[in-house]
Structure 1
Amino acid sequence: MAGQTPDPPPEGRIDGDEPRPLSFRTEVYRGGTAFPRKIQPWGELLYALSGVCEIEVEGRRFLSPPSYGIWIPPGTAHEAWSREDMLYVTTYVSAELCESLPRSVRTLALSPLLKAVLADFAGRGITVPQTAPDRRLARVLVDQIALAPQFDSYLPFTADRLLAGIVDSLSADPGNRLSLAEWARRTGVTERTLSRRWQSAFGISFNEWRLRLKLVRALSLLDAGEKVQSVARSLGYGDASAFIAMFRRMTGASPTTLPQSAARKPGEAGPQITRGRAGCPGGG
């Protein structure tokens, strides 16, 4: 992906350093930043505080929106990019601690406890746990990764050229209200054919996929501090109540009750925030 070239590594960590046995980094990445393909001998948990990261593994694309982490096991080739500014947390886990963790790339629903531990480390500027209490907290985090609900991909993508064109259009404009029947006419197939092809490629229906896309975009906008009414309009909802109903149905919570502590613009974040650099999110 073309884009900005991340800065060289800051002092205190050399690219390729082994975690000891866990380490953490919170960084700002500007929109358009690309992270070249890389293989590492340790695991990574990637988690967006704001923005959305796109990660590609063996031709499959994974989205990392707020509230969902991406687990990358040791020895997995991956590359990534950000289309928008994002504030990102990376946890590096040494290979010996990965035995109980997923053996393939997985989307994880992050627990409040896991996010609280990461927030505590970031707030205190802890990149490598040194004290006995901090080491115990770090091991709790490893346990939480193992216990987290796993998904093959929250928002699946496909290499199918016909479907990829629709995906690109919807990704560029999540408020697009064209129905499946209208997309079928535009692509020259029947609605039934397009529906079957979509279900086969994604494992979910067209409407479900579009709802997930809207949720992903909504989470990013809300974490950036956008008002609920503004988010609703950008996603094609005529009024905020319809958007709130969708959000509550998808998450079990209302967007009006989301905590605002993470609603920060990149570059205005707390301690230990640095700019991105070569490698995938977190710099490892």
Structure 2
Amino acid sequence: MMHFQTDNLTQNLVALAHHYDHGDCEPLHTHTTTQLLHTISGVLRIDTPSGSWVVPPGRGLWIPAGIEHSLQATGSVEVRTLFLDPLARADLPGECGVFSVSPLLRELIVAAVDIPNQVKPGSRDERLVELILDELRSLPLLGFHVPVARDKSLHQLCDTITQRIDHPWSISDAAQLLNVSERTVSRKFHQQLGLNFGEWLRRQRLLRSMELLAAGHSVIEAALAVGYESPGAFSQVFKSRVGLSPTEYLQTPASDVDLGTPAPAS
């Protein structure tokens, strides 16, 4: 939703409901406001100069004011968005991140859609806005993020791997493509991406598999498409990160999705 690109909020918060059809895109843009995207159904992919995020049902994405980003929808996507005054609270998060939407926050976001553009002081609507802002002060950010490399050669390597994500990539393959040692590859990933090669690859595969499942692919198709030799191995990794098996993820109604915190990387 490309609102508030040049204009400013006249109050602390505005909430909107929106629908995206499969394949809908929004080009790179920024907002004068902080934005919270809460996905009810379908999957959103958000790309910024520093990384990519996938927002499955039951999750939210926090985008601070001024962060350039683009959007792509996978599946039929229902989303609730909050546009917030960046100065509404001094301790709101200052970086992009996917987070788990608690049942309380989910209901508050849904209720906020009916709040009028002009909130009366002392009203129930004002108290709802204040409660939402309090709930947003400490969001549990999750590892559904794939950072982007600044170095040209590493960026090209990541693009090559992403375009052939079904290949059984190893750090040895990466070293050969860059014509450097495995140790150098490992150092580059840690320095520029803050992740080791294996963790970066797992996240890239996880995000792509979420998009494929949301687009209607079967578990077997998604597993093979992102480089797993068997649906069982794929399901094990998927469940350790998402909290549900791929089959449960496909079958769970959007209103019931509460994914919890991903397990630490193996």
TM-score, normalising length from structure 1? 0.71
**2:18 is equivalent to residue 26 of structure 1:** yes
Aligned to 1:61: 51
SS of the equivalent of 2:201 reads helix
Residue 79 of structure 1 deviates from its aligned partner by 3.2
Aligned to 1:101: 92
| Whole-angstrom distance in 2 between the partners of 1:68 and 1:116 | 9
Q: 2:253 aligns with which of 243, 261, 266?
A: 261
| Whole-angstrom distance in 1 between the partners of 2:109 and 2:31 | 27
Q: CA RMSD in A?
A: 3.5
**Contact 1:61 1:157 (8 Å CA) reproduced:** yes
Inter-CA distance 138–228: structure 2 relative to 1 (3 Å threshold): farther
| Whole-angstrom distance in 2 between the partners of 1:134 and 1:174 | 47
TM alignment of 1:89-128, pairs within 5 A: 89-102=80-93, 104-113=94-103, 116-117=106-107, 120-121=110-111, 127-128=113-114
TM-score, normalising length from structure 2? 0.75
| Whole-angstrom distance in 2 between the partners of 1:216 and 1:14 | 28
Structure 1, unaligned runs of 5 or more: 1-5, 264-284
Identify which range, 137-146 or 105-114, moves more after superposition: 137-146
Given residue 31 of structure 1, which amino acid in structure 2 is its aligned partner?
G
Residue 139 of structure 1 deviates from its aligned partner by 4.4
Inter-CA distance 238–95: structure 2 relative to 1 (3 Å threshold): closer
**2:207 is equivalent to residue 211 of structure 1:** no
Given residue 105 of structure 1, which amino acid in structure 2 is its aligned partner?
E
| Whole-angstrom distance in 2 between the partners of 1:23 and 1:17 | 14
Residue 243 of structure 1 deviates from its aligned partner by 0.7
**2:233 is equivalent to residue 247 of structure 1:** no
| Whole-angstrom distance in 2 between the partners of 1:36 and 1:133 | 36
TM alignment of 1:123-272, pairs within 5 A: 127-130=113-116, 138-150=129-141, 154-258=145-249, 259-262=251-254
Inter-CA distance 47–168: structure 2 relative to 1 (3 Å threshold): farther
| Whole-angstrom distance in 2 between the partners of 1:118 and 1:234 | 38
Given residue 239 of structure 2, which amino acid in structure 1 is its aligned partner?
R
SS of the equivalent of 2:145 reads coil
| Whole-angstrom distance in 1 between the partners of 2:24 and 2:178 | 30
**Contact 1:68 1:110 (8 Å CA) reproduced:** yes
Deviations 1:99-139 (CA, angstroms, capped at 9, x unpaired): 3311x223032233266327845xxxx73425966665554
Q: 1:35 aligns with which of 8, 27, 40?
A: 27
Identify which range, 191-200 or 134-143, moves more after superposition: 134-143
**Contact 1:35 1:79 (8 Å CA) reproduced:** yes
Identity among equivalent positions (%) equals 22
Inter-CA distance 14–170: structure 2 relative to 1 (3 Å threshold): closer
Structure 2, unaligned runs of 5 or more: 256-266
| Whole-angstrom distance in 2 between the partners of 1:169 and 1:32 | 25
TM alignment of 1:69-80, pairs within 5 A: 69-74=60-65, 76-80=66-70
**Contact 1:72 1:106 (8 Å CA) reproduced:** yes
Identify which range, 129-138 or 63-72, moves more after superposition: 129-138
Count of residues paired in the alignment: 245
Aligned to 2:44: 52
Deviations 1:144-163 (CA, angstroms, capped at 9, x unpaired): 32232136982111121111
**Contact 2:82 2:109 (8 Å CA) reproduced:** no
| Whole-angstrom distance in 1 between the partners of 2:183 and 2:54 | 31
**Contact 1:180 1:191 (8 Å CA) reproduced:** yes
Deviations 1:23-49 (CA, angstroms, capped at 9, x unpaired): 223231663734343341x22112444
